[in-house]
Amino acid sequence: MRENPVVDTSYAFALHIVSLYRLLSGEKRECVLSKQLLRSGTSIGANVNEAQAAQSRADVVGKMAIASKEARETRYWLRLLADSQYINRESPRTAALFDEIDSLNRMLTSIVKTSSQTK
């Protein structure tokens, strides 16, 4: 199987989000924000995977653009959880999540821009 950084990164990130959701919903008894985080954080990889089977360049751009929007939304939920002190922004685990989502945002933005310009 061919390696694809955005597919691999988005899948690994989704696994980390599922883990955080379990922690938040179980130990912290927080379910509203964490459910939003779970939805957007796992949607990134789902859209990236759908783009792999796209039927046209426009379809690829569309799916990747949705993934990019979901990544931005996910960063919002992470920030809100950190600023409301459900998660500790300074912990290595949380810092890693912010690094991962920022990396995904850069990758997806680049893919969308490059794919939109190429004809």
Which tens digit of pLDDT belongs to each residue from 74-100? Answer: 999 999 999 999 999 999 999 999 999
| Domain assignments of the chain as residue spans, ordered by start | 5-117
The residue written with tokens 């490059």 in the block is 114
Q: How confident is the model at residue 3 (pLDDT cuts 50, 70, 90)?
A: confident
Dihedral in degrees, nearest 10, Cα atoms 38, 40, 41, 47: 130
User: pTM surpassing 0.85?
Assistant: yes
For domain 5-117, is the CATH number 1.20.1440.60?
Answer: yes
Contacts of 80 (CB under 8 A, 6+ apart): 33
Listed residue (24, 14, 18) closest to 87, CA to CA: 24
Gap between the Cα atoms of 68 and 91, Å rounded: 25
